[in-house]
Amino acid sequence: ETGVTQTPRHLVMGMTNKKSLKCEQHLGHNAMYWYKQSAKKPLELMFVYSLEERVENNSVPSRFSPECPNSSHLFLHLHTLQPEDSALYLCASSPRRTSPSDTQYFGPGTRLTVL
Amino acid sequence: EDQVTQSPEALRLQEGESSSLNCSYTVSGLRGLFWYRQDPGKGPEFLFTLYSAGEEKEKERLKATLTKKESFLHITAPKPEDSATYLCAVQVLKNYGGSQGNLIFGKGTKLSVKP
């Protein structure tokens, strides 16, 4: 596998379920990101990890819980979601996070539907 | 407030009909401007980074330019396979931590090229 991979690609869950999204990067990068992409809206940054430490949480509700066990893996744990949380969740990675030369590379996304 | 606006929201072209997409930005200080291409159901694919006014970059039928207030993505003699949503993002200068390095995205321009 190369680049940034995400699993599952599609997920349907009820509001009382607990599920997790997984992201893996094979690029040797030190920064990883979770974004939410909803229809007609710009990509919204949710969380940023740098060297496995969470460095930013953009006022995301606590029903979203990120985890970064090492620099190659990133998880997004979901529980008691709302229908408005239905969206495409994108993972990205970059060599570092502060320089524009550190391009962010995106995974294919997980299409989440909350019933 | 830092802001990125893309226009038009959607653009329909005939194959071979050249045109331009616009990305205007209002930011406190620009570190870099990024163009991405996104196909339906997929993650954004990196195209270009521009760092300073007057800079231009080209890739096949695409050419990106940058001024102090906006960027253009020029598409010359487009083909149906150029159909996608094109996203613009800026990385801003910040004197405080946390947000440094983060990207601010526009809503994108959906391009359709008919044969």
Predicted confidence at residue B100, as pLDDT, reads 61
Asked if the Cβ–Cβ distance from A99 to B51 is below 8 Å, we say no
pLDDT, tens digit (0-9, with 9 covering 90-100), for B41-92: 899 999 999 999 999 999 999 999 999 999 999 999 999 999 999 999 998 8
Which residues of chain B lie closer than 8 angstroms to A103, CB-CB?
A: 34, 46, 49
Average pLDDT of chain A, as a whole number = 91
Q: Is A83 on the interface with B (CB under 8 A)?
A: no
Residue A1: pLDDT band (50, 70, 90) is: low
Q: Is A51 on the interface with B (CB under 8 A)?
A: no
B36, B51, B105 member nearest A100 (Cβ): B51
A11, A57, A44, A98: CA torsion to nearest 10: -120
In terms of CA atoms, which chain B residue is nearest residue A5?
B43
Q: Contact at 8 Å (CB) between A36 and A91? A: no
Q: What is the pLDDT averaged over residues A99-103?
A: 77
Predicted confidence at residue B41, as pLDDT, reads 87
Give, in degrees to the nearest 5, the angle at Cα A13 between A115 and A54: 115
Predicted confidence at residue B20, as pLDDT, reads 98
Cis bond upstream, residue A42 (ω within 30): no
pLDDT, tens digit (0-9, with 9 covering 90-100), for A39-93: 989 999 999 998 878 777 778 999 999 999 998 999 999 999 999 999 999 999 9
pLDDT, tens digit (0-9, with 9 covering 90-100), for A12-33: 998 888 999 999 999 999 999 9
Give the CA count within 13 Å in the CB-facing half-sphere of A102: 21
Token representation of residue B57? 């970059």
CA distance A111 to chain B (A): 8
Give the CA count within 13 Å in the CB-facing half-sphere of B99: 15
CA atoms B37, A88, A71, B98: torsion sign: positive
Which of A98, A112, A113 to mutate to test binding with chain B, by most B CBs within 10 Å of its CB? Answer: A98
Predicted confidence at residue B99, as pLDDT, reads 55
Cis bond upstream, residue A83 (ω within 30): no
Could you tell me if residue A3 is left (phi over 0), alpha (psi between -120 and 50 degrees) or otherwise beta?
left
Q: Is A13 on the interface with B (CB under 8 A)?
A: no
Residue B94: pLDDT band (50, 70, 90) is: low
Quick check: B97 pLDDT over 60?
A: no
Q: How do beta strands B19-26 and B3-7 pair?
A: antiparallel
Quick check: B95 pLDDT over 60?
A: no
**Closest residue by Cα to residue B38 from B29, B46, B50, B30:** B46
CA atoms B60, B61, B65, B71: torsion sign: negative
Which residues of chain B lie closer than 8 angstroms to A55, CB-CB?
A: 97-98
Asked if the Cβ–Cβ distance from B106 to A102 is below 8 Å, we say no
Task: Please report, for residues A54, A59, A83, B103, the alpha-carbon distance to residue A33 in angstroms, rounded to integers and kept in the order given.
Answer: 10, 15, 23, 11
Task: Please report, for residues A11, A14, B39, B115, the alpha-carbon distance to residue A113 in angstroms, rounded to integers and kept in the order given.
Answer: 6, 9, 20, 34
**Chain centre to alpha carbon of residue A44:** 11
